[in-house]
Amino acid sequence: MPVAGSPASREPYPQGHPQPSHPAYQVPPGYQVPPGYQVPPGYQVPPGYAVPPPAYRLVLPPLSPGGQRLAEFGDRALAFIIDMLIIGAINLVILIPAYLAMFLVILDPVQTAADPFTVIAPMLGIILAVVVLSLLVAYVYEVELMYRTGQTVGKRAMKLRIVPLDPAATLTRQMAFKRFLVQHVATMFLPGLNWVDGLWQLWDKPYRQCLHDKFAETVVIKLDA
């Protein structure tokens, strides 16, 4: 036999019978609405209950076409700094002897006294050699040592990887070379392009690409481990 007051003993109120009044429901202090919560269609919200505004949407991190999380600007900047320090250290091995040779040419009193203009040709030759060797170092580092794994030393340290924009494709030497052309060759001859190239990712949508990424059709992703 149902006990009085139990759910089984309760009968619905007859039609027209006054329904019991309940105080307005109040949200407990400190209660936070779960992220992404949406009110079910047709659901009547109790008075005083706080729900997300109509425009509320759960914001997901931007993803690559392959579904990987895209690299943040800070991580890419730190990886770039690490790579530039490594390339710069290698270039010092080339630059120090080159500058010593230039000073010896300039300070040679016999050659300068005979014909000052003969100093210009060897200096231009040394500068050209330095430029070519510096580009060669950057090429080996950014292309030959990178495209097989998609990582330079800096990107490996920051857990980043370069991948093709097309999820079905594989990173190739040609893609890596296109990145090198914009990031190292073009920026050498176009002042300010290195800043525009590096900062482009801040406003690029939807894949946070730099200009060298767009030219090579690549994106940079963040690895989970």
Residue 184 has pLDDT above 60, yes or no: yes
Q: Could you read off the pLDDT of 93-128 as tens digits, one per residue? A: 888 887 787 777 666 665 555 566 666 777 788 788
Length in residues, the chain: 225
- What are the structure tokens assigned to 205, written together? 């949508």
* Higher per-residue pLDDT: 187 or 32: 187
Query: Over the chain, what is the mean pLDDT?
Result: 81
- The mean pLDDT of 192-210, rounded to a whole number, is 95
CB proximity list for 19: less than 8 A, separation 6 or greater: 13
Closest CA to 70 of 144, 165, 186, 3: 165
Q: In the prediction, which pLDDT does 208 show?
A: 95
Q: In the prediction, which pLDDT does 197 show?
A: 96
Give the number of other CB atoms < 10 A from CB of residue 91: 17
What interhelical angle do 73-106 and 120-139 show, nearest 10? Answer: 150
Looking at the DSSP bridge assignments, the partners of residue 163 are 219
Closest CA to 61 of 52, 69, 51, 53: 69
- The mean pLDDT of 174-193, rounded to a whole number, is 94
Give the CA-trace dihedral at 62, 68, 69, 74, to 10 degrees.
-120
- What are the structure tokens assigned to 213, written together? 């990424």
- The mean pLDDT of 208-223, rounded to a whole number, is 96
Verdict on whether the full-model pTM lies above 0.85: no
Residue 146 has pLDDT above 70, yes or no: yes
Closest CA to 184 of 212, 153, 163, 208: 212
